[in-house]
Amino acid sequence: MSSSDGKSETVAVEKKKSQRSVLRRFLDFYNQQEIARPLIPFIIILVASIALSPQYFLSPSNLKVVLFQSAPIALLALGEGMVIIMGSIDLTPGSVSGLSALVTGLVTLSTGNITLAITIAILAGLAVGAINGLLVSKFKVYSFIATLAGLEIWRAVDLTITGGSPIYGLTQYSFLMNDFHTFIPLVFIVALAITLVFWYLLTRTTWGGRIIYGIGSNEEAVRLAGTHADLAKFLAFTIAGSLYGLAGVMLVATGGYVVDPWTAYGYELYAIAAAVLGGIALTGGTGHPIGPFFGALILTILTDILIIMGGITQYTIQEIIIGIILIAAAPALTRGLRWVK
């Protein structure tokens, strides 16, 4: 064998080692950094969408659509993600945000006061979250059962209040779509700001960083440590409810200034799917708090690019995507439901 052949083999071996080293570092980063689980899929989906249709996807009008559609889903996913991290499940995001949207419309029509309407809508979501929290923490009802009942009850309340009739012309909420001469609407800015607050609560406070994650990992150990686990669970459901309430206000603007009893129907599945895409383990105790925000963006971008490519209606595509995501997550979901709190 000539010296040149030996050098070629050496170079090839070194190249393979270098490739393995890069792959290993990538896998180590993915496994060790929880933020990588939603961030890397988000980057992949974003790059793929740009490559498939750069002129359409990167147009300011389309980017604005993606951002404003993702905003309410992000808030629902943040609340749902926190509950899942705690080892529980919440099936009320859709019905609660629909109720809050309806409250927004009714109060606006009766008083004309937007500030009052938004406040009452958020408080309505907070109240429902508090009820969920009491049922789970005080009365020891499994969260799946308590919130499944809530899903049906609050949707029935919507239908009873309106008699099935929609509320039109809520154009007062057009300010939420203001993009300040950019493609970034106000609803998205609000969702991003709340995400940062949420990140602080779950990473920089004892309540979030230790107790909420601790309950999801080992609730008995948290109780033996002398912490108020029941109070923490009550607060988690209450905060989640307030996020659902604000998402309902956003849906008034993003839904064409119309509210009906079926507003946000099925959005509990959007919330769970976005949380799963954001790397939140359905068994509880793990997941980056910003993950659901990226999960909402991934879900919205997937829907957007598939509409561009296939021309199928948005609702149809979203249902297909969510179904696939939940099927893929079925093993984890099954394990979690054995002991969901």
CA distances from 230 to 18, 81, 219, 223 (A): 51, 18, 10, 9
Total count of residues recorded for the chain: 341
The residue-averaged pLDDT of 311-335 equals 65
Strand blocks (E) in 169-284: none
Give the angle 100-101-105 at the CA atoms, nearest 5°. 115
CA distances from 12 to 1, 144, 277 (A): 16, 56, 38
Confidence (pLDDT) at 314: 59
Question: Within 10 Å of residue 37's Cβ, how many Cβ atoms?
Answer: 22
Confidence (pLDDT) at 13: 57
Tell me: pLDDT of 30 over 50. yes
Nearest to 102 by CA among 81, 128, 138, 140: 128
Confidence (pLDDT) at 322: 74
The residue-averaged pLDDT of 138-162 equals 94
Grade residue 304 by pLDDT with cuts at 50, 70 and 90: confident
Question: Within 10 Å of residue 223's Cβ, how many Cβ atoms?
Answer: 14
For residue range 237-282, list pLDDT tens digits in order: 999 999 999 999 999 999 999 999 999 999 999 999 999 889 898 8
Helices 314-328 and 291-310, axial angle in degrees (round to 10): 130
Tell me: pLDDT of 20 over 90. no
